[in-house]
Amino acid sequence: MMLRADHRKFKSMNRRELLKLTPVLALGAFAIPKLQAPLLKTGLGFSDWVSAAIFRRGHLAPTFSDAELTPFDKFPINDYDVDDPGVDLDRWTLTISGAVQKAGDYKLAQIQSLPKITQNTRHVCVEGWDVVGNFSGARLSDFLKLIGADTSARFITVKCADDYYESLDMATALHPQILLCYEMYGRPLTGQHGAPLRLTIPTKIGYKQAKWLTEMSVTNLLQQVGYWEDQGYSEFYGL
């Protein structure tokens, strides 16, 4: 009997010691160069999965009063390549493709014909800064209805005039605060802020909020996730 009791005690002690050692072993694994990238990728994938699982389409991002707005001239200009790709506003269209009933080229006036939403929301940059801005535009969900999008599809992808590209999961695309934004602070977008059309997504990090949109597709398959995501950044990155 004593041998069995000692054996059970030894096994129990081993489990406890192993649990204590798990964080140490994980840190040790990160010290091995060949394991760093796979471990980081796995960790980001798990984080994205959890974020997507707990995302609620009816849960709204915080909104703010006009008194809390960051002054327009203090709103940072951020991009990955050029401050303004010089879009020809007179000839601009948004080309729609994929799982939609009404594919084709849409003019800005068609997007502006949808109900206009104005909101003061926070823009959070992965670089560590955040500001509160005033944004106006059409709900992306309203535009998806206009084009007859199959909302059982998994993703929305966009391409931009500066060759940037991005994707959104469909649940995010249907969130009521996600805008096809064409105005900031009551004025048409400037070239530096994404004229004539950009995404405003207060539930996600800044790099998801693509500027200078030129193409949009509804799809179940992603060839590319996003410019930064394809370089190892988080795919979901909810706030």
pLDDT in tens, 139-195: 999 999 999 999 999 999 999 999 999 999 999 999 999 999 999 999 999 999 999
Pairing of strands 165-169, 130-139: unpaired
Q: Percentage of the chain with pLDDT > 90?
A: 72
Residue of 40 and 71 predicted with greater confidence: 71
SS3 state of residue 45: helix
DSSP type of residue 85:
-
Domain ranges of the chain: 2-50, 61-231
SS3 state of residue 28: helix
Residue of 171 and 52 predicted with greater confidence: 171
The tokens describing 171, both together, are: 């649940």
Report if pTM > 0.85.
no
pLDDT in tens, 117-139: 999 999 999 999 999 999 999 99
DSSP type of residue 62:
P
The mean of the pLDDT values for the chain is 85
CA angle, residues 184, 66, 115, in degrees to nearest 5: 50
Segment 84-102 shows an average pLDDT of: 97
Query: What CA–CA distance (Å, rounded) separates 96 from 222?
Result: 16
> What backbone torsions phi and psi does residue 234 show, to the nearest 5 degrees?
-60, 140
- CATH node for 61-231: 3.90.420.10
Residue 77: CB atoms within 10 Å: 10
